[in-house]
Chains A and B, each alone.
Chain A
Amino acid sequence: MDSQVDNLIWKLRRRQIVGSRLTAIETLLVLRQYITKAKFTTIDQLIQKIKGIGARLVAAQPTEPVVGNIVRKVLHHIREEYKTAANKPGSSIQSSAFSLRNFVVSGQPRHQATLQKTEARDHLTRSRSDWHHDNHAESLKPVIMEAIQDIFDELETVYESVSKSAKDHIHSDEIILTIGKSRTVESFLKAAAHTRKFTVIVAETAPSYGGKSTAKALASAGISTFLVPDSSIYALMSRVNKVILGAHAVLAQGGIFAVSGSLMVATAARAHSTPVVVCTGQFKLTPLWNLNNEYGSADIENPDAVLGFDEGSLVDKVDVVNPYYDYMKPELIDVLITNDGDHPPSSVYRLIKEAYDDADHEL
């Protein structure tokens, strides 16, 4: 069973899993397997074990933040289920849920809201000490399994949920610009195409040329599509009504990692006051900050795609840079459309607080 985890680690290292959602599903499967077979006496043990696995998985592929996000989500659900279970008997419900003192003292308002117990601090310390000698941890497994199944369902239906509001965001005869290959954006546009007639301009996204497959997919869905090279984005921007982008990961400050080229699209959109919409799943929210490199990429790709060996003598004399991702600061984004609704980038911190526990930010 540890071999399952090792398997996943090797797959991640060799980049055999491509795509955030697939990576998320694989990680969740492995975690579920692990929890089914795990033996633990206290919930704390389980949490520590999962954290250890999570740390190894994240180290295997640091450019894929989704792995860590899923681990954190599972941990969060485990803690929640445990708290609800542990506090069912003898719960004296007081609705002093949002007293300012408790907010300041405990620092987790949402944390309080889910609990049906008194908000007194001593109760917190009591429950914390409960974790260490706990006798019904094992019996919590089925509840945890249910919670994991919920996460699964959320992952499975992420495209449909994000596309629900598509026809409200896209109007008839609009011209939309997009870049790169994102399945979320594709399903978003296809869903809108059921009821609206609009045009999409797809930028090629050199050198991965993901835009080509997007254009093909959209055209076969009946949307009138234009495929243009990246060089003409500024030229066409004056006619574009909206820019819709996909994200690789959403960072804690509200910025996103997106495929290389997105930063230029967003800057050009700002110059023309065109709204920038990012379609993403909730599982891409990462409680990490981008402090190292303001514009730089999380991942550098093979330079062969830019200047290959068929160029011969040039190869030794010339440096080639081929970053795969751009970092877009939150000021460039107007709205994030997630499977949980629409949010401005300024409220991403709150979404992260609700989704994960502070203790898990560092795995």
Chain B
Amino acid sequence: MASNGPKSQSQPSDSTSAPPKSQKTMSKQERRELQEKQRAAKEVAKAQPAKGAKAANKPSQASQDNQSSKKPSKAAEPSTPSLGASASAKSLNATSASTSQHNLTGTEAFGLRIFSHFGAIKHPSGPAKGDIHPAIVRLGRQFAEFAITGANARCIATLTAFQSVIQDYSTPPNTTLSRHLTTHLSHQINHLVGARPMSVSMANAIKHIKVEITNSDIDMPEQNAKDELCHKIDLYIRDRIIVADKVIRTTALRKIQDGDTILTYARSSVVEKVLLYAHSKGREFSVIVVDSRPMLEGKGLLSKLSSAGIRCTYILLPALPSIIDEVNIVFVGAHSMLSNGAVFSRAGTAMVAMMAQERSIPFVVCCETYKYSEGIHLDSFTKNELAPLSVSIPAASSEEVQSEPNLQILNPLYDLTPPTNITAVVTEVGVIPPSSVSSLPFALGRQFI
């Protein structure tokens, strides 16, 4: 949109400066800290009524304390990996906050605190702050309502939206595209992160784009530079996702024999492609789909597979031990791979891996290389996300459990499968054991994925 251009000129560094925020735009935690500080300051002022000047300084002092405390509170929420700019939580209306879950007060019981670093649940953002591109606004809404789920789907949607953003961008005077576009994009990204924490696939793709932007030729006319960037994005999607999936499904086909019983968990786009491809190639096999709350995504996969004519069985996770003896091979997808070979995937995958390992059934993870993540997590707590109650599928016989004071509902979305439970990882560069995952970047000739 042409209207976005002039606006971006006037507020170029919106995300880096931090003016004192009004109460409406602070997160719940920050507001509470502010209240505590105000309360504490009030006590001090009461004890020393002579120092009237302190009372006047309270609001500004509190807001400044808030700025400095914002950083530690952000650090305590590792579920929102920041991309340089601090992720600013969007406007949380008091009403929407009170209807849902955690009240992380300072006086809560011990047990509740140990899960507090999962982070406060983010609610669908209110009116977007600043000049967010409409495509990004729409995308943020879709993420927050879980209309788009899955690492690949989110990544492709993000990149497509960025193509619109880049096309509608115009360089402000006194700066170049290669220097300024990154900042502009970061601002858009913050809006997305506020809607839902970024996935590793999105993060890697964005890193790639930023490198491409920085490397773009300064002398090129603007429209050519923009077209070139959009083309690079198309290539990234094509090479790292679409074609990679094609290679993965061909490789995985070699692992499927006639008469096999294949088990899969929840819904992975890659595994779906593998199974449909194998079926189209004439392999005879049956599939057991294991599903679980909170997202119950397996049902979608089930309808896709059975309408393609594959014989399917559907069970919930607790029933797994009763039928796992009949399984020949397990295929699952991944959100990301860690450098120690562990796989970060939908909650419940770790249990399927554990049961398969016990029976010596091969547990195969299908994952593209762009999902590789450099860090190492030791357990599922370090980085995880909680599904908002409004989005998780309600249990069939649901009684009202939200109303109890001592009761909290947690719906972690991810868990970590240790490398010992994984037999092999199928990537577009071949079938590798989990211990070789850390050498992927080097094998591909890059410093990072």
Contact = CB atoms under 8 A, between A and B. Distances in A.
Interface of A: 173, 175, 197-199, 204-207, 209, 212-213, 215-216, 218-220, 222-236, 238-239, 260-261, 263-264, 267-268, 271, 294-297, 305-308, 311, 314, 317-323, 326
A229 B292 CA distance: 8
Given A219-B406, A226-B115, A314 B302 contact: yes
B294 A229 contact: yes
B133 interface: no
B192 interface: no
Nearest to B387: A229
Contact of B306 (A314, A322, A323): A314
A56 B83 CA distance: 71
Contacts of B379: 235, 238
Contacts of A264: 317-318, 320-321, 351, 354-355
Question: Among the interface residues A223, A231, A238, which one has the most CB atoms of the partner chain B within 10 A?
Answer: A231
A215 B407 contact: yes
B317 A231 contact: yes
* 5 closest A-B pairs by CB: A199-B111, A231-B348, A261-B318, A235-B380, A235-B415
A215 B399 CA distance: 11
Contacts of A239: 114, 381
Contact of A204 (B110, B348, B395): B395
A302 to B, nearest CB: 11
B357 to A, nearest CB: 9
Contacts of A314: 299, 302-303, 306, 314
Given A216-B407, A226-B111, A267-B354, A235 B395 contact: no
Contacts of B321: 263-264, 267, 295, 326
A320 B313 contact: yes
Interface residues of B, number: 58
Contacts of A175: 111, 114
A229 B322 contact: no
Contacts of B315: 306, 320-322
Nearest to A208: B397
Nearest to B402: A227
B401 A232 contact: no
Given A314-B306, A326-B321, 9 more contacts: A209-B395, A215-B404, A218-B406, A224-B408, A227-B409, A228-B411, A234-B348, A235-B350, A267-B354
Given A204-B395, A207-B316, A318-B313, A231 B322 contact: no
A230 B111 contact: no
A172 B313 CA distance: 44
A231 to B, nearest CB: 3
A226 B111 CA distance: 9
8 contacts: A219-B405, A224-B408, A228-B412, A232-B347, A264-B354, A314-B314, A321-B315, A323-B322
Interface in B83-120: 109-112, 114-115
A230 B314 contact: no
B219 interface: no
B136 interface: no
A229 B351 CA distance: 13
B366 to A, nearest CB: 19
B198 to A, nearest CB: 20
Contact of B408 (A206, A227, A236, A320): A227
B396 interface: yes
A321 B322 contact: yes
B410 A228 contact: yes
Contacts of B350: 234-235
B40 interface: no
Chain A binding surface, main DSSP class: mixed
Contacts of B324: 295
B351 A204 contact: no
B399 A226 contact: no
B286 to A, nearest CB: 9
Given A216-B399, A216-B407, A232 B348 contact: yes
A62 to B, nearest CB: 18
Nearest to A322: B319
Contacts of A317: 306, 312
Contacts of B399: 212-213, 216
Given A230-B318, A307-B314, A321-B322, A268 B411 contact: no
B308 to A, nearest CB: 10
A321 B320 CA distance: 9
Nearest to A293: B322
A135 to B, nearest CB: 55
Contacts of A206: 292-293, 316-318, 395
Contact of A267 (B110, B355, B410, B414): B355
A233 B317 CA distance: 11
A199 B306 CA distance: 43
Contact of B407 (A209, A225, A236, A296): A225
Given A235-B415, A321-B315, A226 B409 contact: yes
Contacts of B322: 260, 295-297, 321, 323, 326
B45 to A, nearest CB: 35
Nearest to B287: A318
A231 B313 contact: no
A318 B110 CA distance: 46
B407 A227 contact: yes
Contacts of B411: 228-229, 232
Given A234-B351, A264-B351, A227 B401 contact: yes
Contacts of B312: 317-319
A232 B109 contact: no
A224 B302 contact: no
A234 B357 CA distance: 14
B358 interface: yes
Nearest to A225: B407
B294 to A, nearest CB: 5
B152 interface: no
B396 to A, nearest CB: 6
B292 A321 contact: no
Contacts of A263: 321
B52 to A, nearest CB: 43
Question: Among the interface residues B324, B398, B401, B416, which one has the most CB atoms of the partner chain A within 10 A?
Answer: B401
A78 to B, nearest CB: 39
A307 to B, nearest CB: 5
Contacts of A173: 110-111
Contacts of A198: 111
Nearest to B306: A317
Question: Among the interface residues A216, A229, A267, A311, which one has the most CB atoms of the partner chain B within 10 A?
Answer: A229
B336 interface: no
Contacts of A227: 401, 407-410
B184 interface: no
